[in-house]
Structure 1
């Protein structure tokens, strides 16, 4: 009797499992469509791959191996590839428009992926910063402001215009977009020296620094993934992509240094939104000068008037909140006295915490409970 009962239970379990499999078959089939393709299948590349219209010689085994290596590395870091895709809808339209107006190939936009993954604040150990990873001297050479108050390498519009000019000059000098990309990575003088030394003018046949040898293939990997995401297992829906930033631009005349909080209040928004829309602005203050700023698209008219009024009130308030350093004071003791963070004193007064203060120095302090914690 017990054996019959066990057999019945086993048959019932098998029947239940079969029913579940039948019911889930459509879902499994749908999941199969969404599955990540085998890596070997992903490496079966189209021999017509090109960069800026220049064919990539994939029939050369060594070139194919280099291409496969970089594509595998990009596909292995799938989290990053997803972010490439999601950010592309936010930044590519502006980059594409600027490349098109200059008559440059659309493929150049993928250089920004290889350089910064489309992030404005990314920096390199060597000092390159921004979407296109300009070094300070190169940035200034192409008209970008790089100083303590503003760093236009972080501005999408300004840095892309500089990149457009640089790409144009590099292509004119080397006569090849693949060599222009190599020069962008390693510097034109270094590339010219290798061409003269090796007697070769093909990127694919030149022995270059290892990073530069990989560089173009990293760009091509980004191109393959972003133009054929489904082939590589990235089944994106329209809602998955980040929307473009919506903003208006205003002309601002700032007659003396002021807090960016004043700018934010004039735009009827907050400090963070102004910083996000204008990543080139550094720190908490806006230096005297004339600016074209991005503000939320629903900013009402009268921005300059509101800014002038806000700056006057902010300036008056600062004059009313001066603390004169006494003998025996230090920044820590002053912070405790007014019950404010030490870092806030640093921001309000733009001072280095390592620099000594002296009796008679004048510090701006907003005491706790004064109704403001703004710089």
Structure 2
């Protein structure tokens, strides 16, 4: 029994013993203290860290200790970094911006496209909706480019460059990125200081640059901190083809997936900016599985034409006393399906005379099945 437990949790126990064990807590504490000891020549975006200031080392060590304590999160940073940082690094180089900025989306979102904050920030770079729109991102009911790596990276680099031009240092630019340029400018004016490390700012912003420093050290040299991942442990960059299409009407994403020879989730994963279950009319540069772009437009037209006969719909005319849940029960359909098909919110009222799109369930032979007593309020 003990052997099985050790075989299951062995690597984590070894790490724990290395830090806290050995001849006792003193040896473990000494090892941990050495691990978080700051390099004297540490810089961020080429700007030195002023270790001579009283609290700077303490603030730095706090973020190092918190990061190293969350080893699961660090492993995920490293795995995702292999997927996303090569692209971000290349874009930084093209823009002539410091390479250290590649660590910002790790701090902001742990490199997760759907990461969201309580304040409404979203995506790899954690743009608020208004800030995203101000920097050219589409953010609406159907598209949220804050979740698109290419679009959001371009917007973030533009924003960071403008912040650096305004404040004259990268530490201040990063502080402004976190708390807003107007808020930082007000604090600098009131406190009569242009030194990030000496400013009293919102607590999250006071920690922000130190989180960047901790991520830089750990991700930049993971083996030094006990993270020795093999190449096969890392997540490879996503590979895809891109197809440009122009839609004259709304199209279900399930049909896009069918035309691409894949499944709904794959299309959503490759195109995280897409919201909901439908593409609206307009132009799209869709990421598709490798090899699926050739002839995609023609295949999509074909599956759209076939869908009308393969998946017959009916229109239900809402009757007095109806509710969405009553209609779903009557037609033996999941309530969420009604919301998806009709693009409505559960809390939105329906009224007599409204028309709802319904699709049938299917029997084992693949035939559409409608409840027998429901046709009097339905239209083809």
Q: Which residue is equivalent to 1:220? A: 213
The answer for the alignment partner of 2:255 in structure 1 is 262
Match of 2:189 in 1: 196
Conserved 8 A contact 1:52-1:107: yes
* 1:46 matched to 2:39: yes
SS in structure 2 at match of 1:294: strand
Question: Residues 168-204 of structure 1, C-alpha deviation per residue, up to 9 Å, x if partnerless?
Answer: 1111111111111011011111111222222221111
Match of 2:202 in 1: 209
Which residue of 356, 364, 368 corresponds with 1:363? 356
Q: Which moved more, 1:146-155 or 1:199-208?
A: 199-208
Structure 1 residues 366 and 186, CA, compared in 2 at 3 Å: closer, same or farther? Answer: same
Question: Within the alignment, does 1:288 sit opposite 2:281 as a pair?
Answer: yes
User: Gapped runs of 5+ residues in structure 1?
Assistant: 1-26
Q: After superposition, where does 1:243-282 map in structure 2 within 5 Å? A: 243-282=236-275
Q: Secondary structure at the match of 1:130?
A: coil
Partners of 1:101 and 1:75 in 2: how far apart?
32
Q: 1:40-79 alignment to 2 at 5 Å? A: 40-79=33-72
Listed one character per residue, the Cα deviations across residues 63-106 of structure 1 (whole Å, up to 9, x for unaligned) are 11110011111111111111111100011011111111100011
User: Equivalent residue of 1:149, what SS?
Assistant: coil
1:114-150 deviation per Cα after TM superposition (whole angstroms, max 9, x unaligned):
1101001111111111111111111111100000010
Q: Does 1:347 align with 2:340?
A: yes
Instruction: Tell me by how many angstroms 1:263 deviates.
Output: 1.0
Q: How many residues align?
A: 345
The structure with more radius of gyration = 1
| Cα-to-partner distance string for 1:138-171 (whole Å, 9 max, x where unaligned) | 1111100000010000001000000010011111
- The equivalent of 2:162 in structure 1 is 169
* CA apart distance, 1:235: 1.4
Q: What corresponds to 1:96 in structure 2?
A: 89
- 2:173 corresponding residue in structure 1: 180
Counterparts in 2 of 1:355 and 1:209: CA distance versus 1, 3 Å? closer
Counterpart secondary structure, 1:332: helix
Alpha-carbon distance in structure 2 between the residues aligned to 1:372 and 1:61: 76
Higher relative contact order (CA 8 A, sep 6+): 1
**Contact kept? 1:251, 1:293, Cα under 8 Å:** yes
Instruction: With the length of structure 2 as denominator, give the TM-score of the two structures.
Output: 0.86
Tell me, yes or no, if the aligned pair for 2:243 and 2:293 is still in contact at 8 Å. Answer: no
Query: Cα–Cα, structure 1 residues 35 and 295, in superposed 2: closer, same or farther, change >3 Å?
Result: farther
Q: Aligned partners of 1:192, 1:359: CA distance in 2, in Å? A: 55
Shift of the 372–213 alpha-carbon distance from structure 1 to 2, 3 Å rule, reads farther
The alpha carbon displacement at 1:337 in A equals 2.6
Could you tell me how far apart the structure 2 residues matched to 1:156 and 1:210 are? 28
Q: Determine if the alignment matches structure 1 residue 127 to structure 2 residue 130.
A: no
SS in 2 for 1:160: helix
Change (3 A) 1:354 1:194: closer
Can you give the 5+ residue segments of structure 2 that lack an aligned partner in the other structure?
1-9, 20-27, 369-380
Aligned partner of residue 243 in structure 2, secondary structure = strand
Pair 1:313-2:311 in alignment? no
Paired residue secondary structure (1:364): strand
SS, match of residue 180 in structure 1: helix
- Alpha-carbon shift at residue 315 of structure 1 (Å): 4.9
